[in-house]
A = this chain, B = another copy of it.
């Protein structure tokens, strides 16, 4: 047959159709089970990969996702992730983080630090699976990936469960925002470390470039942008905003930090004053970018992740023990950190647990981090598959877990760790109670 389009573009049209259809179907099925939409899309991606489709219908799978079509699928999903991370940055309200940092700051930090430390501990036995990865890099990466919270998924769950306006919801969202900021900054440092290969001179040059980039963005681009907006009333326009986003993304990639960090940072520093107009401008830009990004491009990323995930690589009982250990450490680390934080905030057991279950959703953000790890060679394909399973499990747990926890009696006003609460809690005793949910 005659072909107008390059073969891989023609196949891409079919791939997009199949991926979107699978996402839509699983979206419906899992939605009925009370799961947030993203879960259906992640599961759809896994099912289209070697774990199900490639196993059920190998020849159909081989022709739909022929190896020569994968670079294009990957490229398109990378552009999608750049747009997505930019939108996450745009939607990140630093003002809100700053305002409620006294309330949620310590809890947020604990819900990052505890799983981070737990991840460091887990890294020792797991390193045997990827002996070729540098030990320090491997440990740091595993620690970061344990401490991820998926901001967008969490926001969605809070809306679905009607928790947005509650104190639990506000604390959870602030913790998640803080988490995004810390996780991506940590990942940038890990990337800098990986890039330099541990050489001191190289570390210094990368760190120098990173600091220079940050200074330029905050003290150069940000005010220039605000001035442009004020002067021409035009800087809020989508093309101008996008030029900045793509340039920032390209710059971080060139420095040796992942392109996604630049996209996220560009969104986060975009000036949004207290006034409604500049706030609305940022929201409008995000709203314009979201439909194609979320409906078309992110599902391609899920499918690409699914193609790289092969659950049959988790072979043998030992591998499944590792997988269960990863899931257990991830859950215990995150929920434990939140419990500790909740105690300090004088939350009851119920609300502390609820905060933990919420912050335990790793969703899309974790998958992005895992793909970076696989690309960097820090993860092996089998460890990648285990970690993907952990990301899916912790995200799947959120809604049912939340429902179970919220059914608990809420009048157990007693903090979980009585002593710890008495030690840490004193400074926060200004009449904050867990009632009013």
Contacts and interface: CB of A to CB of B under 8 A. Distances in A.
Interface of A: 1-6, 8-10, 12-14, 16-17, 20-21, 23-24, 27, 71-72, 74-76, 78-79, 82-83, 191, 194-195, 237-240, 242-243, 246-247, 249-250, 253-256, 258-259, 288-289, 291-293, 295-296, 372, 375-376
A5 B78 contact: yes
Nearest to A75: B9
Contacts of A376: 4
Contacts of A292: 83, 288-289, 291-293
Contact of A195 (B1, B10, B71, B74): B1
A3 B17 CA distance: 31
B195 A243 contact: no
Number of copies: 2
A225 to B, nearest CB: 14
Given A10-B253, A13-B250, A238-B295, 19 more contacts: A1-B256, A2-B194, A3-B253, A4-B253, A4-B259, A4-B375, A5-B78, A5-B253, A5-B259, A13-B82, A13-B247, A13-B249, A27-B239, A72-B72, A75-B76, A83-B292, A288-B291, A288-B292, A292-B293
Given A24-B239, A238-B291, A292-B292, A246 B2 contact: no
29 contacts: A1-B195, A1-B255, A3-B253, A4-B375, A4-B376, A5-B253, A5-B259, A9-B78, A10-B250, A13-B246, A13-B247, A13-B253, A16-B242, A16-B246, A17-B250, A20-B242, A21-B239, A24-B237, A24-B239, A75-B76, A76-B79, A238-B291, A238-B295, A239-B295, A288-B291, A288-B292, A291-B292, A292-B292, A292-B293
Contacts of A249: 13
Closest 6 CB pairs of A and B: A2-B195, A288-B291, A17-B246, A13-B250, A292-B292, A17-B247
Contacts of A250: 10, 13-14, 17
A1 B246 CA distance: 19
A183 to B, nearest CB: 16
Residue of A237, A249, A376 with highest tally of chain B CB at under 10 A: A249
Contacts of A75: 6, 8-9, 12, 72, 75-76
Contacts of A13: 79, 82, 246-247, 249-250, 253, 259
A194 B16 CA distance: 27
A198 B20 CA distance: 38
Contacts of A74: 6, 9
Contacts of A259: 4-5, 10, 13
Nearest to A245: B17
A78 B1 CA distance: 19
A5 B254 CA distance: 10
Contacts of A296: 242
A363 to B, nearest CB: 19
A71 B24 contact: no
B258 A191 contact: no
Contacts of A12: 75, 79
A2 B197 CA distance: 10
Nearest to A260: B4
A329 B4 CA distance: 28
Contacts of A238: 291, 295
A288 B292 CA distance: 7
Given A6-B71, A254-B1, A20 B295 contact: no
Residue of A24, A258, A372, A376 with highest tally of chain B CB at under 10 A: A24
A92 to B, nearest CB: 21
